Amino acid sequence: RGCTCEGVHIWIYSDFAKIMLGYFGVRGFAVSTELLLPSGSLKHLNYAFAYGADAVYAGQPRYSLRVRNNEFNLEKLQQGINLAHQNNKQFYVVNNIAPHNGKLKTFLKDVEPVVAMQPDALIMSDPGLIMLVREHFPEQVIHLSVQANAVNWATVKFWQQQGIKRVILSRELSIDEIAEIRQQCPDIEIEVFVHGALCMAYSGRCLLSGYMNKRDPNQGACTNACRWSYQAHEASEDGVGNFVPSEQTEATTTDKIFLLEEKEKPGQFMPAFEDEHGTYIMNSKDLRAVEHVQKLVEIGVDSLKIEGRTKSFYYVARTAQVYRRAIDLAKSGEKFDANLLFELDKLSNRGYTEGFLRRHTHDSYQNYQTGNSVSSLQQLVGEVIEMDANQRKLKIEVKNKFNQGDSLELMTPEGNVNFELKELSDKDGLPIISALGSGHQVWITLPADVDLISADFSVLLRNLPEGTDTRDPYQTVAVKQVL
């Protein structure tokens, strides 16, 4: 078959040529597709690198969109950057808020020590802050944040002319649009989100949390109001134009009006509108684009990004492991492994969508059931903190309850193994039948056929029985036993 690469016509006859396309991309020179993972802490960073990440990103708390669950003060930022560079990895610092004048007054003073740490890039969205960094720290590499909403090749060229090295493309783009941007802008790096939570707003530019409880998402204080539990009341318009609850409405199905009442704020109503395409402010499914990694690599995307700086270290490990495998398969010209979809199903999620990469019906984007992340396949039950190779024992920092006889998966950077737990003991070595929950330490004994070279960065998962999920992983089983 034929393909056109910047005016050069290439005929592909063999698998070798496919491998070359994955390696060189559409630009005709070597492309090394980066796997970029979130890092909410140094622990997350270490797990990301252990499971195959090429780079991590972390926020400077006052100037990023994750002011909560962020341990990266100046000392931790320096440690993280040093750890990354010691492992020949990259570390990007996020400064992507939309600042008001008050934060401009302190920005240069606060960012100067960060620049001195030599991060591999600052991820920024505000033109004013970008201007200040370019003026005062001209050697500092800048990546354009997804918050800047770059959705076309002209925008990418504009930012390239401003000295930006990489543009993180908007999540609202299709694969064809990404490919066109790559073709039109061959000399600038592009980055694409492939996994994680999606905002019901344009690339995260949301005001819902600010409307509901005065927490501005654009200042890093999002409370995920889009995922709260709401009751919908049919409404009608009164004589002065206000929307009021109504037992009956004359509206058609294409222009219904609803008043949303959050369960913790009874009597406070927010109007919402729904037409034949659905509603627009509510609970998005999570992005999962692992099936499209091969195409994105072939296009020549420089970096594939995982969202989730507030997620667990297990989430970081699992997504890094899966997307590392997908990238490696794509670059070697091998077929996509459908088992990777199943591996991601093990994570708690809100349901998955391909987002805007391909066009879908409206109901494939939203989760109408719950705002919580749930898994019906697995639950994180522990982190390995010590290994006794002679006794084939692992010491576990318990995260959730598990029992002797449970089906478990041990996840390691070298690979994963499933087994039935036969022997369980407390931290002093005394036999027990249950590890009761978070805060405890226990020992498990591995089966004789499980070979484990190292327990570093290993995670223990419980395979959930059919009919249960992470919201209450023992309830259904207990009910069945009673019946």
What's at 237, amino acid-wise? E
CATH topology classification for 2-198+284-364 = TIM Barrel (3.20.20)
Based on its alpha-carbon atoms, the radius of gyration of the chain, rounded to whole angstroms, reads: 25
Distances (CA, A) of 475 to 41, 45, 370: 33, 35, 18
At 98 the pLDDT is 87
Distances (CA, A) of 125 to 95, 152, 200, 311, 444: 8, 16, 19, 23, 48
Tell me the sheet residues that pair with 220: none
| Residue 260 · residue 211 · CB < 8 Å | no
What's at 60, amino acid-wise? Q
User: Angle at CA 134, nearest 5°, toward 72 and 40?
Assistant: 15
At 285 the pLDDT is 87
pTM of the model: 0.80
CA distance 207 to 204: 9
| Residue 65 · residue 217 · CB < 8 Å | yes
At 12 the pLDDT is 40
Measured in whole angstroms, how far is the alpha carbon of residue 428 from the centre of its chain?
Answer: 38
What's at 325, amino acid-wise? R
Q: Is 268 helix (H, G, I), strand (E, B) or coil?
A: coil
CA distance 469 to 476: 9
At 423 the pLDDT is 97
- Give the strand order in the sheet containing 256-262: 243-245, 230-237, 256-262, 269-274
Q: Each residue's pLDDT tens digit in the chain (483 positions)?
A: 344 443 333 334 345 444 455 445 555 545 689 999 999 999 999 999 999 999 999 999 888 876 666 789 999 999 999 999 999 999 999 999 889 999 999 999 999 999 999 999 999 999 999 999 999 999 999 999 999 999 999 999 999 999 999 999 999 999 999 999 999 999 999 999 999 988 766 666 676 676 677 776 666 677 777 777 766 677 766 656 566 666 434 444 445 677 777 777 888 777 776 655 555 456 678 999 999 999 999 999 999 999 998 899 999 999 999 999 999 999 999 999 999 999 999 999 988 999 889 876 555 656 655 556 788 899 999 999 999 999 999 999 999 999 999 999 999 999 999 999 999 999 999 999 999 988 899 999 999 999 888 899 999 999 999 888 888 888 754 444 444
The two beta strands, 378-388 and 393-398, are: antiparallel
At 264 the pLDDT is 77
> What is the homologous superfamily of the domain 378-482 according to CATH?
Translation factors (2.40.30.10)
What's at 88, amino acid-wise? N
The first and second tokens of residue 147, run together, are 């918050």
At 476 the pLDDT is 54
CA distance 279 to 272: 8
At 473 the pLDDT is 85
Beta strand segments in 404-463, E = 407-412, 415-420, 424-426, 434-435, 441-445, 459-463
Tell me the sheet residues that pair with 353: 287
CA distance 478 to 482: 6
Domain layout of the chain by residue ranges: 2-198+284-364, 220-274, 378-482
Q: Is 161 exposed, middle or buried (0-12, 13-18, 19+ CB in 10 A)?
A: exposed
